[in-house]
Structure 1
Amino acid sequence: MLISFAAAVVALAHHASAHATVFHVSVNGKDQGDGVDKYIRSPGNNEPITDLADPALVCNVKGGTEVGSSVKAAAGDKLTFHWWHYNPDDPNDFPLDDSHKGAVLTWIANYTSSDPTGPIWSKLAEEGFEGGKWATMKLIEKKGAVEFSLPKALAKGKYLIRQEIIALHKADGPGGDPATDRGAEFYPSCAQFEISGDGGKVPDQDFDFNKDYKYDDKGLFFNLYIPFDKYTPPGPRPWKG
């Protein structure tokens, strides 16, 4: 009995300390299977990134390391990233703690085998606060699924697609000072894609997360505990081709 109780305590601690990460991707509703370290540059852990100067802000810890395969999709396809808390095979798992209210953003960059830092990113999709609901609440209601469509004009080629959760439960104070324990939390995940199609447009927003995200950005320094009229996610508006 003591062994069972101890195991339960360890499991509970693991569950409580874990955060959301992407395990699978679907193309037009077809699950591409377990992508961890296969087509997803999976992080060594799924703890949040809070330092805007940290290269891990892009694809999370270890997430800049190239993996062996890519998801095949076509311009115009509907893609779904599937988030779980820590174990997609656990029927009691949940994608994200509901205290982590905030935005879900999706980005794209031309493929690079090296750590994908620098001004190479363009935004594909964004969800913030609409109809009285945060994007993270919609993610939870959809059991971790976040859908978006590739622009039909997207040129064929190899790309990295990055989706991030921006949790704002501590964003009522600006980040950058560990002593305050305040600031937005970032949960990024990057997947490798090979895109086909007849489009000819290459995304060109040239966004650099380590330089273009700012601690005082209204989308990152935001108090969700007081009344507000609207919320605008950080970065440019989505690239449509």
Structure 2
Amino acid sequence: MRFSTFASILAGAATVYGHIIVGSVYINGVSQGNGLGTYIRNPPNNSPVKELASPDIACNVRNVPVPKTLEVKSGDIITFELYHDNPLDDIIAKSHVGPVQVYVAPTASNGAGPVWVKIFSEGFTTQWATDKLIANKGHISVTVPDLVPNEYLFRPEVLALHEADTPHNKNPGRGVQLYMECVQFKVISSGSVALPAGIDFVTSYTYDDPGLVFDVYNGAMSRYVPPGGPVSSIAVANQPGIGPIPAPGSAKNPSGDAPPSNQPAASKPVSSPSTPAATPDSSGAKAKAAPVPASIPGSNNTPPSCKAPPSEPGYPNPPSQPSPVPTAPPAQTPLPLPTSKMMTITLKSSTPPPQPSPVPPPSQPAQHSNPAQPGNNKPVAVAPAGCSVNNIKVASAGDSGSGSGTNPSPPVAKYYQCGGINYTGSTTCVDGTSCKVWNPYYSQCL
């Protein structure tokens, strides 16, 4: 049996777990929260598009506007986070090798016609772009060009070539696999660059293109050229590309220079009221967040103190620290009360939760968690009923879930959102799944 045949069989077996989606976005290193169905026009699943003549090749099979549009300025760094099912998984099967590219088009076009302009592309250097994507936890970063103010669709794309030796129109069981979503942005800076004419995927991505029909097992990989033509001249030079999430505040002007120090941040997510955002120190490293008191004086919505839950299996417990003498928070720096609706997660328990004694404020400040960042891939622990994690209340078995007093919403399907800051939908998952807290902004039925 030829090696290529054997490798193809293995690649086909990997297909069941190897697909990929775009799940969230960072702007200048700041997470914008879960984007599925909010600012990302995501398909119902992570299956690829293989029919090159289909209009689905532009923004996938559910190309409909979503409620939110992210605001950016010229020079901002947009980081797309891609993964298989969640930010902590295998990103994409290693057998699914191929290029990674990013295009942009006017939102008004809805992705139809010769409107797509390429601003990033990486194929094979000493390794495939997908290998770099796996090594960097699924992160691709591009710099916003000096575009005229308008609304735009940014389209990250991964091409899997493991079955691309035969075109799909000749063998429907094979062919290149395309993974893409369209993300809604609005450029609010006063740029002067209008998008030039671009490509139409329906007519430009063809079964005659050697970038889309390629034998990765017997071909000369160093000669591979991704489809879609060269990167446009409007693209910013020295973009971060495939790599770690840039440090907060690392945006650049389209010329490549650092932005003025008085330039405001382009976009910030809703902060968790229980933990202040960390800021970069003078060296660019992420500094620790300032400590906060265990409760807010005068508030009546602070749950009782609870024992810290055990660490997630596979992660060590943090080192023990001596308990400091409790002190009152400084009177001159009162913390604001939370204004956003708390998410509740219903936990069923056969026994009532323990009632531990109050403990003094923690000696180590809480940190924001970006689950997909290297070195911080630790799921958010769930506290006992009646307690809170990052100011997200964990309901007891008798709670209604939404707390609204209305009829309960239908259960949430597997892989869809079931909670998070500002989330107002159902928190009950379909049978066989439970609501998993990934971070304060996003919980998912798994």
Partner of 1:77: 76
Could you tell me how far apart the structure 1 residues matched to 2:57 and 2:94 are?
22
Tell me which amino acid in the other structure corresponds to 2:81.
H
Residue by residue over 1:87-127, the C-alpha shift from the partner in whole angstroms, topping out at 9 and shown as x without a partner, is: 23xx4x12101110001110000112x74222211111101
The alignment partner of 1:102 has SS state of: coil
- 1:67 aligned residue: 66
2:131 to 97, 118, 137: 137
Q: After superposing the two structures, state which structure 1 stretch, 202-211 or 159-168, moved more.
A: 202-211
Alignment equivalent of 1:176, drawn from 169, 174, 177:
169
Partner secondary structure for residue 136 of structure 1: helix
- State the match for 2:218 in structure 1: 226
Q: Output the CA distance in 2 between the equivalents of 1:86 and 1:36.
A: 12
C-alpha distance in structure 2 between counterparts of 1:33 and 1:105, whole Å? 23
Q: Does residue 112 of structure 2 align to residue 117 of structure 1?
A: yes
1:206 offset after TM fit, Å? 2.5
* Superimposed CA distance per residue, residues 182-225 of structure 1 (whole angstroms, 9 cap, x where no aligned partner): 22110011100011223211221321001111111111111111
Contact 1:213 1:235 in 2 (8 A): yes
Deviation of 1:35 after TM superposition, in Å, equals 0.6
Higher mean C-alpha deviation, range 223-232 or range 73-82: 223-232
Does the 8 A contact of 2:75 with 2:143 survive in 1? yes
Matches of 1:203 and 1:41, distance apart in 2: 21
Structure 1, unpaired ranges of 5+: 1-12
Q: How big is the shift at 1:156?
A: 1.7
Q: What 5-or-longer segments of structure 2 have no aligned partner?
A: 1-12, 235-446
Does 1:240 pair with 2:230?
no
Local SS of the residue matching 2:209: coil
Matching residue's letter, 2:117: S
Where in structure 2 are the equivalents of 1:181-196 lying within 5 Å?
A: 181-196=173-188
2:18–2:92 Cα contact (<8 Å) kept: no
Whichever residue aligns with residue 28 of structure 2, its letter is N
Would the aligned equivalents of 2:133 and 2:139 in 1 still touch at CA under 8 Å? yes
Identity of aligned residues (%): 39
2:26 equivalent to 1:26: yes
Give the CA deviation at 1:65. Answer: 0.4
- Range with bigger deviation, 45-54 or 231-240: 231-240
Residues 101-155 of structure 1 show CA distances to partners (whole Å, capped at 9, x for unaligned) of: 001110000112x74222211111101111x11111111000111112122x322
Q: Specify the code of the residue in structure 1 equivalent to 2:131.
A: M
Pick aligned residue for 2:144 from 137, 150, 157: 150
Measure the CA separation in 2 of the matches of 1:223 and 1:154. Answer: 38
- Look up the equivalent residue of 1:163 and give its one-letter code: P
Residue of structure 1 aligned with 2:96, choices 86, 96, 100: 100
SS of residue matched to 2:202: helix
State how far apart, in whole Å, the 2-side matches of 1:221 and 1:178 are.
12
Q: Which residue of 1 aligns with 2:158?
A: 165
CA contact (8 A) 1:75 1:155 kept: no
* Aligned twin of 2:201: 209
In the alignment, the residues of structure 1 paired with residue 141 and residue 132 of structure 2 have an alpha-carbon distance, to the nearest angstrom, of: 11
Matched residue type, 1:108? V
Q: Distance in 2 between matches of 1:18 and 1:34?
A: 21
Q: Which amino acid is the alignment partner of residue 98 of structure 2? A: G
Alignment length, in residue pairs? 220
Matched residues in 2 for 1:226 and 1:214: separation? Answer: 21
1:220 and 1:234 in contact (8 A); partners too: yes
TM-score, normalized by length of structure 1?
Answer: 0.86
Higher relative contact order structure (alpha carbons within 8 Å, sequence separation ≥ 6) = 1
Q: Give yes or no for contact 1:27–1:78 (8 Å, CA) kept in 2.
A: yes
**2:70 and 2:124 mapped to 1: Cα distance?**
30
Q: Is the 8 A contact 2:99 2:123 kept in 1?
A: yes
Mapped partners of 2:135, 2:149: distance in 1: 33
TM-score by length of 2: 0.47
- Is contact 2:91–2:137 with CA below 8 Å preserved after alignment? yes
Q: Which has the larger radius of gyration?
A: 2
* Contact 1:45–1:61 (Cα < 8 Å) also in 2: no
**Which amino acid letter does the alignment assign opposite residue 61 of structure 1?**
V
